[in-house]
Structure 1
Amino acid sequence: MDRAWVYLVTGCGFIGEKIVELLSQQDYIKEVRVFDSVAKGEVEKFTTGTENVLRACCVLNVPYVVYTSSVAAVGPNTSHEPMLRGNEDTIYSGEVELPYGKTKAMAEKLVFEANGKKMSNGGKLTTCIIRANTVYGEKATYLQELYLFAKARNSVLNYLEPENTERNYTYVGNVAWMHVLVARNLQLKPDLLAGQVYYSYDDTPTRKGFLIRHQLLSTMDPSVRLGSHIPYWKMWLMIQLHRMIKVILYPFWKPQPFLNLPLLNTIVTTFSYETDKASRHFGYKPLFTWEESKHRTAQWLKAVAGNLDTPQLHEKKN
């Protein structure tokens, strides 16, 4: 592969910005281009972004597509059945409930179907998928919000998930690095990577989300201490009460977004995986160690701690 490649990153948010940064450091890449929400007015007339990207690739003879998906596209399902340390081949049935997961599942289907599709020059489109999990690191706004919540409660960080609940966490730099390697090896080894899906992972030391969050925040501010588990029934009651008050007082009171029941059920359900597929297929190794990832995250949090806005809960961020 001695030609110089041009890469296009569609979306330059939390993960996308890090992908652009790492792509720009690769000497085999001629140019990195970004297509982001600044073009929103121009693309509002289109209904499905992923579908249009795939169609454009076939028309313009862009041969490779790496789609950034999420573990939310797989589960937990509407029955909230757990998956404990599965992998890319684990069979898990049922439909996801949260809108974010539904749209990711729909987009994944389009990407899988587009693999091998004929382009206008007679060549074939080659696609694969990376499923990110809970991603932390610089510019992870949910960490800002958690810090504000903790400081408002005398630096105590309480948590919703039971202590036996497992979820994977990955540093944003390692998620981005996996994208860089996948994009490169999709060109070098298309027969192996075409149509594949890869879960992101690194050496973040535990699948206990509340422990990871506490370590990240306490590294930045040692006064932050781990609190206690908030019982499911208590949060369920709070959600129902919030809904009732909102209905009664609408339109005179328009509260900030609050945790909903489908999201609560997702938080308390184990959905974890254990895999080395990316290592086996394209030699992936985390670019950043846990200590580096923790330090970088803490340094960023320190830098922005004085400019934090009022916290809000959002489905996608959680």
Structure 2
Amino acid sequence: MDVSCKGKVLVTGGGGYFGFRLGKELASEGMTVILLDVNKPLWDIPDGAIFLQSDIRDYSSLHKVCEGVDCIFHTASYGMSGPEQLRKEQVESVNVGGTNNVINVCKERGIPRLVYTSTINVVFAGKPIVDGDEASVPYVPGDLHIDHYSRTKAVAERMVLSANGSSVKGGGKLETCVLRPCGIYGPGERRHLHRVMMNVERRLFSFRFGDPAARMNWVHVDNLVLAHKLAAEALTKKKGCIASGQAYFINDGLSVNLFEWLTPLFEKLGYSRPSITLPVSLVYSAGRFHLLLQVRNITVSHTFKIDKARQELGYCPQPYSLADSVEHYLKIRQSRDTPISLSLPSVRQLAERGILLLLMGLGLVLLIIYGILS
């Protein structure tokens, strides 16, 4: 990061995978870093950083820890996946209420820069998007979001962008920008890769489903860290505040078919790559709400250009391989008390697998009968 950007920074969500990686990198470059989160990090706190256990919904606490801070990286959020998606009030209070607190603290503490970690879900709700860009892809209307997380992230993103140019205490203005990453992967990542791993083990990926040509983007954690550092620089006068009030799609610069991209995972687990394609309706019929959202994201193309980030931020993503992340993940799993090869599914998981396989089997029978009669 440019020397003009060195100082004291706050990373909300600093106990999570990405927030911690970002804070660690900033600390390694000489900045004083505050990692703020309700959950303690799983990793050792790096030199140059401190961890404070607090909630962004607690305004007085947030205001107190922000003394002397000159940039906030707001990565904290709630309700991205799993059962927590259904906790509507908590999703709203963290993603919207917490973001409102962050913005107000910036104004009250005279903090001149705010970088917000958003998501592609603010513009994607299940309809295909191919090579979308910031100018041509609009927000999903609020009533068309099917999950609270995406809706509240869109609300929060708009709040952050609307706050750009606001006066801050002590003089000056607040410069804000928004980054919209896709799914994150990298060594030690637990949320996305773990979820995919569980679905492979549950045989969700025993078959292909949806459009076989569907493509999506991913972003390696180190590329996402790079994008945030560049965004913070681009909010400074030295860079002409070029990023002020702007949103940027961030990914590795590649679009991939998920089933092809997961080949290293299938190979490491000893599974063959799925070759039979089923109607997506059969998969939907066997899923719960949070599973349906995953299926939606897999079966519909949604890819985004990063030209704007390249041109305005100087973002140049480095090439990475999923194979390295899979190898790291499996080493961690196998070092635990219950190796992955010996893990036993619960009764509920067995029942879900049975229902899913039964539905798939019935679907195949119906397809065969239909073929004979037609």
TM bucket by the smaller chain? 0.7 to 0.9
Q: By how many angstroms is 1:285 displaced?
A: 1.4
**CA–CA separation in structure 2 for the residues paired with 1:132 and 1:162:** 23
Structure 2: tracts of 5 or more residues without a match? 40-51, 60-92, 353-374
**Structure 1 position 71, deviation (Å):** 0.1
Secondary structure of 2:211's counterpart equals coil
Shift of 1:202: 1.7
Query: 1:89 maps to which residue?
Result: 135
Identify the residue that residue 29 of structure 2 maps to in structure 1. 26
Structure 1 residues 107-122: aligned runs within 5 Å: 107-122=156-171
Q: 2:63 matched to which residue of 1?
A: none
Distance 1:36 1:161, change over 3 A: farther
Does structure 1 conserve the Cα–Cα contact (< 8 Å) formed by 2:167 and 2:173?
Answer: yes
Partner residue in 2 for 1:301: 329
Query: Residue 89 of structure 2 aligns with which residue?
Result: none
Partner residue in 1 for 2:359: none
Computed over aligned residues only, the root mean square deviation of the Cα atoms, in angstroms, reads 2.9
In the alignment, the residues of structure 2 paired with residue 120 and residue 21 of structure 1 have an alpha-carbon distance, to the nearest angstrom, of 29
- Whether contact under 8 Å (2:38, 2:55) holds in the other structure is no
Tell me which residue corresponds to 1:181. 230
- Judged with a 3 Å threshold, the aligned counterparts in structure 2 of structure 1 residues 94 and 295 are, in CA distance, closer, same or farther, namely closer
Residue of 97, 107, 111 corresponding to 1:62:
111
Identity among equivalent pairs (%): 24
Measure, in 2, the Cα distance between the counterparts of 1:43 and 1:179.
Answer: 20
Instruction: Identify the structure with bigger relative contact order (alpha carbons < 8 Å, sequence gap 6+).
Output: 1
- Equivalent residue for 1:290? 320
SS in 1 for 2:184: strand
Q: In the alignment, which residue of structure 2 is the partner of 1:168? A: 217
Residue identity opposite 1:89 in structure 2: A
State the alpha-carbon separation in 2 of the partners of residues 258 and 109 from structure 1.
25
Task: Report if the CA contact (8 A) 1:157-1:214 is conserved.
Answer: no
Alpha-carbon distance in 1 for matches of 2:4, 2:117: 27
Corresponding position of 2:311: 280
What's the counterpart of residue 144 of structure 1?
Answer: 194
Q: Which amino acid aligns with 2:286?
A: M
Question: Corresponding residue for 1:224?
Answer: 271
In terms of Rg, which structure is larger? 2
1:280/1:147 Cα in 2 relative to 1: closer, same or farther (>3 Å)?
Answer: same
Once residues 14 and 160 of structure 1 are traced to their aligned partners in structure 2, the CA distance between those partners, rounded to angstroms, is 30
* Residues 234, 243 of structure 2: 8 Å contact kept: yes
Tell me, yes or no, if the aligned pair for 2:10 and 2:35 is still in contact at 8 Å: yes
State the Cα distance separating 1:146 from its structure 2 match: 2.8
Once the two structures are TM-superposed, the CA of residue 18 in structure 1 deviates from its matched residue by 1.5
Contact 1:115 1:127 in 2 (8 A): yes
CA distance 1:190–1:120, shift in 2 (3 Å): same
Question: Which 5+ residue runs of structure 1 have no aligned equivalent?
Answer: 243-256, 314-318
Distance (Å, rounded) in 1 between the aligned partners of 2:5 and 2:22: 21
Q: Is the 8 A contact 2:36 2:54 kept in 1?
A: no
Aligned AA (2:36): F
8 Å CA contact 1:165–1:268 kept in 2: the answer is yes
Shift of 1:222: 6.3
1:71 aligns with 120
**Partner deviation per Cα, 1:11-34 (whole Å, 9 max, x = no partner):** 02121122112212224x3x1111
Q: How much has 1:40 moved relative to structure 2?
A: 7.0
Cα separation, partners in 2 of 1:128 and 1:149, compared to 1, 3 Å = closer
> Which of 121, 126, 135 in structure 1 is aligned with 2:184?
135
1:72-131 deviation line (CA, Å, top 9, x unaligned): 01112xxx4321111111133542322111011010011011000011112100000000
User: Do the aligned partners of 1:51 and 1:110 also contact (CA within 8 Å) in 2?
Assistant: yes
Structure 2 SS opposite 1:164? coil
* Aligned: 1:7 with 2:9: yes
Distance in 1, Cα, partners of 2:54 & 2:23:
23
How many residue pairs were aligned? 284
Taking structure 1 as reference, are residues 24 and 259 closer, same or farther at Cα in structure 2, changes over 3 Å only?
same
Q: TM-score, normalised by structure 2?
A: 0.68
Would you say 1:236 and 2:284 are equivalent positions? yes
Q: Deviations over 1:244-269 (max 9, x none)?
A: xxxxxxxxxxxxx7624x55444422
CA contact 2:217–2:252 (8 Å) conserved in 1: no
Give TM-score, length-normalised by structure 1. 0.78
Separation of aligned partners in 2, 1:218 and 1:18: 27
1:305–1:64 Cα change, 3 Å: same
